[in-house]
Structure 1
Amino acid sequence: MQPQKMHEMVKPLQWLMGTWKSISAKVMYPTMKTVDFEEKLCFLSAGQPLLNYSSTTWNPKDKAPMHLEYGYLRIDEEGCLVALLTAMNFGISTVEEGTLQEKSLTTNSKSIAHTKFAKMPVVALQRCYCLNDKCQLSYTLKMQTERTPLSTHLECLYEKEEEKS
């Protein structure tokens, strides 16, 4: 999808808009060993009062796809409340809500749906995106399952890809 003109309502999210490539990315959990991965993260405007969201991850050694996520990031009229709607290739979809403060966005799951055969039933998610003083995007995802308390699952750092003219 080609980025479109930004809708007025998403201007508070302008710092997040674009395509981001991981500099470092790790997946971890109390029930697994830490693994490196690579990721392309996109928050793009379609000219609507929301951003299209996608996340594609792959194994850095053999480039095999790992986790895929697609969805939408919405913002309220006051520009401080957000909702992230996602669908994942592991058979999970979420509705997450949170807050936007300056160059930081935090969401917590409000609803999580699973396919009958999803590997690990997730009961809670918490995400935090933050733009640092080097214009790098940091991202932390915490996850809770039926057997494991809310724990860090992903830690990533991204740099923005240059826009093609």
Structure 2
Amino acid sequence: MAVQVPGAALHDMVKPLEWLLGKWRSEEGQGKYPTLKDFKYGEEVEFSHVGQPNLQFSAYSWHLENKMPLHREVGFVRIKPGTNQVAFVVAQNIGLSEIEEGEVTGQSLKTTSHTVGRLTFGKPPQTQQIMREFQRSGDILEQVVSMKTENTDMTEHLRIKYKKI
């Protein structure tokens, strides 16, 4: 959970990302990958701020049948001053850290990683690149994540549509 600063105004630099703010939830996530069995998952994401020139990000997913925790991510979203260029810095509980960059256009955010770090004892295959897209339409926020590994070209991996809660 992100800590809110009561009365903190949204920093002018991140106002183009204001449409992401809030807590979003879904139990309709679909995962697939050529090396995995297709799966369904639930997830809650939150974008928040404390008045600084970035948004805080957290994502927590769970197995739909047994409700056991799955993937976790935390990070920050920043905008290069005077542009629509965005940086997304993410740490994952599976031992990956990534820096993605891209653009925000209206209510769409698209990023591609240029740096992926991993634990020396991480499970193969090695993730080499991640692409992420958030798109909002009304009260629905959709996220699509694609991934490239040492064995598989860039392929869609996760797709989920959240409702604001």
TM class by smaller structure: over 0.9
* C-alpha distance in 2 between matches for 1:61 and 1:23: 10
Q: For 2:142, which of 138, 154, 158 is the aligned residue?
A: 138
Q: Which runs of 5+ in 1 are unaligned?
A: none
Counterpart amino acid of 1:48?
Q
DSSP 3-state at the match of 2:82: coil
Structure 2 residue aligned with 1:123: 128
Residue 5 of structure 1, CA deviation: 2.6
* C-alpha distance in 2 between matches for 1:62 and 1:2: 31
Structure 2 residue aligned with 1:73: 77
Query: Retained in 2: the 8 A contact 1:72–1:85?
Result: yes
Q: For 2:92, which of 88, 91, 101 is the aligned residue?
A: 88
* C-alpha distance in 2 between matches for 1:158 and 1:67: 16
Render the CA deviation track for 1:123-161: whole Å, top value 9, x for unaligned: 0110010012x3201110000000000000000000111
2:146 aligned with 1:158 = no
Query: Retained in 2: the 8 A contact 1:12–1:79?
Result: no
Sequence identity percentage:
35
Aligned length: 160
Structure 2 residue aligned with 1:57: 61
* C-alpha distance in 2 between matches for 1:51 and 1:44: 6
Query: Retained in 1: the 8 A contact 2:75–2:88?
Result: yes
Residue 22 of structure 1, CA deviation: 1.3
Query: Retained in 1: the 8 A contact 2:27–2:64?
Result: no
Q: CA RMSD in A?
A: 1.1
DSSP 3-state at the match of 1:37: strand
Residue 23 of structure 1, CA deviation: 4.7
Counterpart amino acid of 1:131?
R
Render the CA deviation track for 1:16-63: whole Å, top value 9, x for unaligned: 111110152111101111111110101101110000110000112221
TM-score, normalization by structure 2: 0.93
* C-alpha distance in 2 between matches for 1:127 and 1:28: 15
Query: Retained in 2: the 8 A contact 1:40–1:57?
Result: yes
Structure 1 residue aligned with 2:4: 2
DSSP 3-state at the match of 1:24: strand
TM-score, normalization by structure 1: 0.93
